[in-house]
Chains A and B, each alone.
Chain A
Amino acid sequence: MEKLVIANKEFESRLFLGTGKFSSYDLMEKSILSSASELVTVALKRVNLTEGENDTILSHINHEHINLLPNTSGVRNAKEAVFAAELAREALETNWLKLEIHPDPKYLLPDPIETLKAAEELVKKGFIVLPYINADPVICKRLEDVGTSAVMPLGSPIGTNKGLETLAMLKIIIAQSNIPVVIDAGIGSPSHAAQAMEIGADAVLVNTAIAVSQNPVEMAEAFKLATIAGRMAYEAKLGKVNEKAEASSPLTQFLS
């Protein structure tokens, strides 16, 4: 399988994980390990920035193969996001950032205007910016234009497990994008992750579906396998979808 490359960094795994909602840090760590994920996002607000690697969450994701992706969950506008990002960079010693600006605490939907503004500024300040954004093809191109390293459009509202409800828009985003497309939010079952891979997404980010399942460790592995299966299917080129049956041995072959 092809390797995923974001900002010149190679990833074997196309499954990214969130760290919220787990019933314990131990279970979170085991789930992350069983998912084989190499990129894990952590909300800045959950981290004790003064404690560095000794922080409870960070100490549980401190593995050689796991890269940290701090996120700005909680900020409401570009100004707050930039401020938070700079503190995260200093405290956590990474310039990778999942930019999320959702001023609406009910549905947690991203603010496209503030996200674009913040992305532009953060790229200039040297951040590797992965913005969480609506499945809007135009805003995704605009983010690419200002230099983000990927786009992370949502499949459906975060935490809903509803799958790829924005499918038609996601397909356009994938078709148009010159940077990796990571489908984030709403992926509720391994089949959704496989579907995302099959339509050509470069990666998926999953949290609730794993953290809130009865057995997060097994669910994490299920997502790992589904992501691999979906990507393999994509690379092997899926057949086209037909309305009618099509014989695998053509009837007119005798004529040639």
Chain B
Amino acid sequence: MSTSFSDIAKQFNWEETTRSIYSKTAIDVEIALNSPNPTLEDFKALLSPAAENYLEEMAQKSQYLTKERFGNTIQMYIPFYLSNECQNICTYCGFSLDVKIPRKTLTDQEIIDEAKAIKNLGYDHVLLVTGEANKTVGVDYLKNAIRLIKPYFSQISIEVQPLETEEYQALVEEGLHAVLVYQETYHKENYKLHHPKGKKSNYEYRLETPERLGKAGIHKMGLGILIGLEDWRTDSFFCATHLNYLEKKFWQTRYSISFPRLRPHAGGTELKSVITDKQLVQLICAYRIFNQELELSMSTRESENFRNNIIKLGITSISADSKTEPGGYNQPKESLEQFEIDDKRSTQEFANIIKQQGYEPVFKDWDKVLQ
């Protein structure tokens, strides 16, 4: 098969897609809600303004489908920042090259100390995070980091710069389980405005990253958009289209979707598309109704109240107690962080909340021997 998603994406016009989503009616939403196998057109209806009146029905259905598939369990993970060095300029990011913060990349000893600190919190699944600084934090650095922390954790994922197929293969061999790589936005022209400088400004290279991952035989890949850059509805439709394409092509891979959203803040760039809490619930439920097997992930960017309640509505994995600066668990230094987290409760506190909601927090659901 020689087609790639970038060929498929070209068949969709952004403005037409947007119009189509906004013209969905209550009847379209009801059809989508009742469909045993929702299509991408149904997904559009579930994303549409018309579906806002069906939020309770959507939530009920999402909860039911999630429980049927994932049971009464919530997977726990934690981000593990290795470096905040970055050669990219991204208009929204705290690690952007033009942001004046001290830069730090963990040494071998610091990586081990940090791994021990995270392990002490009870975590077994970690997500390694870096900026994009290929000279200092390239594939060799990542390989070494995985090797160093492998004795401590059952599942290691990464959220780093896009890599080549062979590089991913090398990391999979070291014990890498999953890769999260968000397109940020599928609006090709505006992507360039949000990412004016650095390797990340290459839209096509980023867009084809999941295909390189699929070829490398990764166990799981995570997709997503940065909610707020462009119309979240249209962007989510493109993301779901991407997901659909990948699922059929790389049928041995598991998929997850995350929901990072930008928040309006003083002095920051104005957001094009502000998503309300209600709409974020709508989006999460829409994904679940569209795809029952999809893992849906939530970070500590969200508030305590939102996170307490979202557990029941379709989310399958969640982080807690997170630090977004390199070395943050062992030696916290807020001046280094990527973004300020909202929910600062301890792991134990949050695990208790999960239990109170009738779910078992699962810290281990993978094993090195399966790698």
Contact = CB atoms under 8 A, between A and B. Distances in A.
B73 A74 contact: no
A212 B367 contact: no
B270 interface: no
B9 interface: no
Given A76-B252, A104-B252, A105-B252, A212 B68 contact: yes
Report the interface size class on chain A.
20 to 34
Report the interface size class on chain B.
20 to 34
B367 A45 contact: yes
Contacts of B72: 21-23, 211-212
B189 interface: no
Given A46-B364, A104-B252, A212 B67 contact: yes
B253 to A, nearest CB: 7
A211 B68 contact: no
Contacts of B113: none
7 contacts: A24-B355, A74-B370, A75-B370, A87-B369, A103-B251, A105-B252, A212-B67
B71 A103 contact: no
A153 B40 CA distance: 33
B358 to A, nearest CB: 5
Contacts of A106: 247, 251, 293
B68 A159 contact: yes
Given A21-B70, A76-B252, A103-B252, A45 B370 contact: yes
Interface in B340-371: 355, 358-360, 362, 364-367, 369-370
Contacts of B73: 20-23
B69 interface: yes
Given A21-B73, A47-B364, A47-B367, 18 more contacts: A20-B71, A20-B73, A21-B71, A22-B72, A22-B73, A22-B360, A23-B360, A25-B360, A44-B369, A45-B154, A45-B364, A46-B364, A74-B366, A76-B252, A80-B370, A83-B369, A159-B68, A212-B71
A34 interface: no
A49 interface: yes
Interface in B266-293: 293
A36 B70 CA distance: 25
Given A23-B72, A208-B68, A212-B72, A44 B360 contact: no
A110 B370 CA distance: 16
A48 interface: yes
Contacts of A21: 70-73
Contacts of A208: 68, 71
A74 to B, nearest CB: 4
A84 interface: yes
A24 B360 contact: yes
A191 interface: no
Contacts of A75: 370
A161 interface: yes
The 9 closest A-B pairs by CB, nearest first: A21-B71, A23-B72, A105-B254, A74-B370, A45-B367, A103-B252, A87-B369, A106-B293, A23-B358
Interface string B54-73: 00000000000001111111
Contacts of B370: 44-45, 74-75, 80, 84
Contacts of B251: 103-104, 106
B365 A211 contact: no
A48 B68 contact: no
A44 B253 contact: no
Interface in B72-86: 72-73
Interface in A166-209: 208
B71 A49 contact: no
Contacts of A87: 369
Interface in A6-34: 20-25
A23 B254 CA distance: 23
B71 A105 contact: no
Contacts of B359: 23
B332 to A, nearest CB: 28
Interface centre among A47, A74, A104, A106 (most CB of B within 10 A): A106
Given A22-B360, A161-B68, A49 B252 contact: no
Contact of B367 (A22, A74, A76): A74
A228 to B, nearest CB: 26
